[in-house]
Amino acid sequence: MTFLTLDHLQKSFGPTRVVHDFDLGVEKGEFVSFLGPSGCGKTTVLRMVAGFETPTAGRVVIDGRDVTRLRPNQRQIGMVFQSYALFPNLTVAENVGFGLRTAGVPRAERAGRVAEMLALIGLPDLGGRYPWQLSGGQQQRVALARALAPRPRVLLLDEPLSALDAKIRVSLRNQIREIQQQLAITTIFVTHDQEEALSISDRIVVMHKGIADQTGTPAQIYNQPATDFVAGFVGTLNRFEAEVLDPARGLVRVEGAEIALDRPLPAGRITLAARPESLRIAAEGIPAEITGVEFLGSVQRLRARAAGREVVLDRFNEPGVALPQPGAQVRLAAAQAGWLVLPG
């Protein structure tokens, strides 16, 4: 039995169905990210867990108890909003202590817990300030402390980092992950930033048009995308049309180059794909012409034209090795495991 279970959740606003049959089990202490394009229903699912939306069908179960009919203030959930949503009339300490106050925790005990939370987020001295006296990153950390102070059973974060600038985003996401692991709190984190999801999650749910397309560890999502959508949405992907020569042995041909995949394939034509870092320049392989070279420091990004399409390949910088020049004719290959066969 999982700690948080979303059991066949559905949600319609009027005639439009926004969430179709969403099924998910989250283990205690697990960090799960919802990743998907704008409008795919991430927030809606999260709000059903929090209790702000009532599911059209399905159940939300926390720790074995069906909470689908409970109001948000009875669910013991912590929530962090994209816009921070700190109460402007209360100091940082009062904000953090809010959930304790509504729970009737005595003042002295409250003060201790607030100090503890402020120390946890690394802002021990800012308790007396008002929200407008804090930077965006500080406000969001206070919001996190506020959500965690009453020891919620589940923590929900709805794009908590997207209002912040890039640098703070990275450091704050690591801090969120650290605190989450330290407290071992069951967490759902909504984002549309794949790097964010890949870097801090135990598991990722890739959502698309109200459906969970794939649920898996970051490595699974990246290396073994279950659907065409997941493959295209997470990371960059180079696609090639391939003709299957021998379905049983997995031999295909792309632009005259034969590639042995060593796995059973359907007959006819398939789409092959490879991540930029899987492709390399080799003696044998798919013929291509280099069209551009970007030097990104540790990585070199080469753009090429192969089989009538734009192709990107990344390789690590090696000081002794010269960059290929635009216009150079090369051949592209990948290790067997680097080739993805896309469904459909």
Partner 1 sequence: MRQIGWNWLGVLPFFAFALLFLVLPTMNIVIGAFQNPQGEFTLANLAGLASPRIVSSFAISIKISLASALLGCLIGFAMAAAVVMGGVPGWIKGPLMTFSGVASNFAGVPLAFAFIATLGRVGLVTMLLRQWFGINIYAMGFNLLSFWGLTLTYLFFQIPLMILIITPALEGLKREWREAAEVLGASTFQYWRMVALPILFPSLLGTFALLFANSFGAVATAYALTGSSLSIVPIMLFAQIRGDVLQDPHLGYAMAFGMIVVTGLANLAYVVMRARAERWMQ
* Chain residues that interact with partner 1, rule: CB under 8 A: 50-52, 71-79, 81, 83, 85-91, 98-99, 101-103, 130-132, 143, 146-147, 150
13 binds ligand ATP (CB under 6 A): yes
- The stretch near ligand ATP (CB under 6 A) out of 39-47, 163-171, 245-253, 332-340 is 39-47
- CB-based contacts of 167: which residues, under 8 Å, 6+ apart? none
- The stretch near ligand ATP (CB under 6 A) out of 36-44, 101-109, 136-144, 170-178 is 36-44
Rounded Cα gap, residues 336 and 115, in angstroms: 55
Choose the one of Mg ion, partner 1, ligand ATP, none that binds residue 141, judging by a C-beta under 5 to 8 angstroms depending on kind: none
State the amino acid at position 164 in one-letter form. L
- The stretch near ligand ATP (CB under 6 A) out of 37-45, 95-103, 268-276, 326-334 is 37-45
Helix or strand or coil: residue 254? strand
CB of 176 to Mg ion, least distance (A): 17
Name the burial class of residue 89, with classes exposed (0-12), middle (13-18) and buried (19+) by CB atoms within 10 angstroms of its CB.
exposed
| Contact of 114 with 126, CB cutoff 8 Å | no
Minimum CB distance to ligand ATP smaller for 35 or for 172: 35
18 binds ligand ATP (CB under 6 A): yes
Rounded Cα gap, residues 100 and 224, in angstroms: 44
CB of 79 to partner 1, least distance (A): 5
194 binds ligand ATP (CB under 6 A): no
Residue (of 343, 268, 279) closest to 310 by Cα position: 279
Minimum CB distance to ligand ATP smaller for 16 or for 325: 16
Q: Rounded to 5 degrees, what angle do the CA atoms 95, 101, 105 make?
A: 130
Residues that bind ligand ATP (CB under 6 A): 13, 18, 36, 38-44, 192
